[in-house]
Amino acid sequence: MKARIIVTLKTGVLDPQGKAIEAALKSLAIEGIDGVRQGKVFDIEVSATDGAAAEATLRTACEKLLANTVVENYAIEIL
Amino acid sequence: MRAAVIVFPGSNRETDVVRALRRSGAQVDLVWHADHELPVGTDLAVLPGGFSYGDYLRCGAIAGRAAAMDAVRAHAGRGGLVLGICNGFQILCESGLLPGVLMRNINRRFICHRQTLRVERTDTRFTSAYQQGQVIDVCVAHGEGNYFVDPETLARVEGEGRVAFRYCDADGNVTVEANRNGSLNAIAGVLSERRNVLGMMPHPENFVEGLIGGTDGRGLFDSLAA
């Protein structure tokens, strides 16, 4: 089973990298961008065959390692 | 004082911290990150600076889950002393031994310069050789040293007097200019609830010999070895 985990910074947490990317987009004269926040995507192969078991495994993975829940949120998508 | 310096793949400041500890009279062992135990009789566990695991995922994230960190966590749980410097501070935050997280510097640059710190309290095992409010001259060298924590935890950390060092100017004033990585409340070093764990971004081990530019870092190691 394939899954995708998306880790994003929580609202209100400063994102200097996102700001740098936003400035770079402006410098490329790409119009109409009001803000950029950078996150991470993990594409994961899960051995579980049912969605609930896979999600439980991935939730543990996020809580223990993939996200730092002090500053990050995560979303799990079973593909 | 018996100290165990934990070496992770990508640690690079262990030799300096070993030297600083020995200079102050500590007996020091190096411990590999995959070891499950600290040497018997360890008083102090030290997590040195560097770029453990190449800073992959997040700084300190992978090292924070290493086997040796279970031993460090157990040591801290028994009231044992733990010191994390730079990457070691990041590892302590990632492992849950200290609150908060070290984010990318506010100016998005790797900063590497001499830095003055104000000693916020001297009634700890890490700072007793300093004077209250003393301004010490050490170094910083990091890209992710911007201390961040949620407002409730910050209020608790401040309320409990757990800030050991703040970034300040040469006169001891905590200013925006002196806080170059953008840390909340200019926090440069924070203590655990029981004050047996200290994490700090600056490098006191850089300045223990006059020949190399300063000796203000000695106080920390002298405090520990006392």
* Average confidence (pLDDT) over B7-30: 97
Residue B112 contacts residue B140 (beta carbons within 8 Å): yes
Q: Quick one: tokens of A35?
A: 């803000």
Asked whether the predicted pLDDT for residue B226 surpasses 90, the reply is no
Helix (H, G, I), strand (E, B) or coil at B89: helix
H helix and E strand count, chain B: 5, 11
| Residue from B92, B93, B101, B109 to probe the interface with A (highest A Cβ count within 10 Å) | B101
Report which of B138, B134, B121, B129 is spatially closest to residue B24, judged by C-alpha positions: B129
* Average confidence (pLDDT) over B48-68: 95
Domain map of chain A by residue range?
Answer: 2-78
Predicted confidence band of residue B28 (pLDDT cuts 50, 70, 90):
very high
Q: Compute φ and ψ for B63, nearest 5 degrees.
A: -60, -35
Predicted confidence band of residue B219 (pLDDT cuts 50, 70, 90):
very high
In this predicted model, what pLDDT tens digit does every residue of B111-170 receive, in sequence order?
999 999 999 999 999 999 999 999 999 999 999 999 999 999 999 999 999 999 999 999
In this predicted model, what pLDDT tens digit does every residue of B29-52 receive, in sequence order?
999 999 999 999 999 999 999 999
The residues, any chain, with a CB within 8 Å of residue B141's CB and separated by 6 or more, are B49, B86, B110, B111, B112, B203
Active site residue B86: yes
Query: What domain count does chain B have?
Result: 1
Report which of B207, B213, B212 is spatially closest to residue B221, judged by C-alpha positions: B207
Dist CA B87 CA B200 (whole Å): 9
Predicted confidence band of residue A9 (pLDDT cuts 50, 70, 90):
very high
Q: In chain A, what percentage of residues exceed pLDDT 90?
A: 86
Residue B192 contacts residue B98 (beta carbons within 8 Å): yes
Dist CA B226 CA B224 (whole Å): 6
Asked whether the predicted pLDDT for residue B73 surpasses 90, the reply is yes
The pLDDT, as a whole number, for residue B183 is 97
* Average confidence (pLDDT) over B66-72: 96
Asked whether the predicted pLDDT for residue A16 surpasses 90, the reply is no
β pairing state of A40-45 and A2-9: antiparallel
Q: Quick one: tokens of B176?
A: 């925006």
Cα pseudo-dihedral A28, B180, A9, B161, rounded to 10: -170
Q: Quick one: tokens of B221?
A: 């190691």
DSSP tag of B11: B
Would you call B106 and A14 a contact, using CB atoms and an 8 Å cutoff? Answer: yes
* Average confidence (pLDDT) over A55-71: 96
Asked if A66 is an interface residue toward chain B (Cβ–Cβ < 8 A), one would say: yes
Total length of chain A: 79
How many angstroms separate the CA of residue B94 from the nearest CA in chain A? 8
Report which of B95, B166, B50, B74 is spatially closest to residue A70, judged by C-alpha positions: B95
**Interface confidence (ipTM) of the complex:** 0.82
CATH code (residue B145): 3.40.50.880
Of A17, A20, A65, the CB nearest to B65: A65
In this predicted model, what pLDDT tens digit does every residue of B183-212 receive, in sequence order?
999 999 999 999 999 999 999 999 999 999
Query: Domain spanning A2-78 has what CATH number?
Result: 3.30.1280.10
The pLDDT, as a whole number, for residue A55 is 95
Q: Quick one: tokens of B71?
A: 């031993």
Active site residue B93: no
Would you call A17 and B108 a contact, using CB atoms and an 8 Å cutoff? Answer: yes
Dist CA B145 CA B100 (whole Å): 11
Asked whether the predicted pLDDT for residue B91 surpasses 90, the reply is yes
Dist CA A75 CA A59 (whole Å): 9
Q: Compute φ and ψ for A45, nearest 5 degrees.
A: -95, 125
Q: In chain B, what percentage of residues exceed pLDDT 90?
A: 98
| Residue from B53, B57, B152 to probe the interface with A (highest A Cβ count within 10 Å) | B57
| Least reliable range by pLDDT among A11-20, B23-32, B57-66 | A11-20
Asked whether the predicted pLDDT for residue A17 surpasses 90, the reply is no
Asked whether the predicted pLDDT for residue B181 surpasses 90, the reply is yes
Residue owning tokens 């998306």:
A6
Q: Residue B186 sits in which domain range? A: 2-225
Active site residue B113: no
The residues, any chain, with a CB within 8 Å of residue B48's CB and separated by 6 or more, are B5, B6, B7, B11, B12, B13, B14, B16, B17, B85, B86, B87, B88
The pLDDT, as a whole number, for residue B11 is 97
Q: Compute φ and ψ for A39, nearest 5 degrees.
A: -135, -165
Chain B's closest residue to A7, CA to CA, is B57
Handedness of CA B108, B134, B130, B150 (dihedral sign): negative
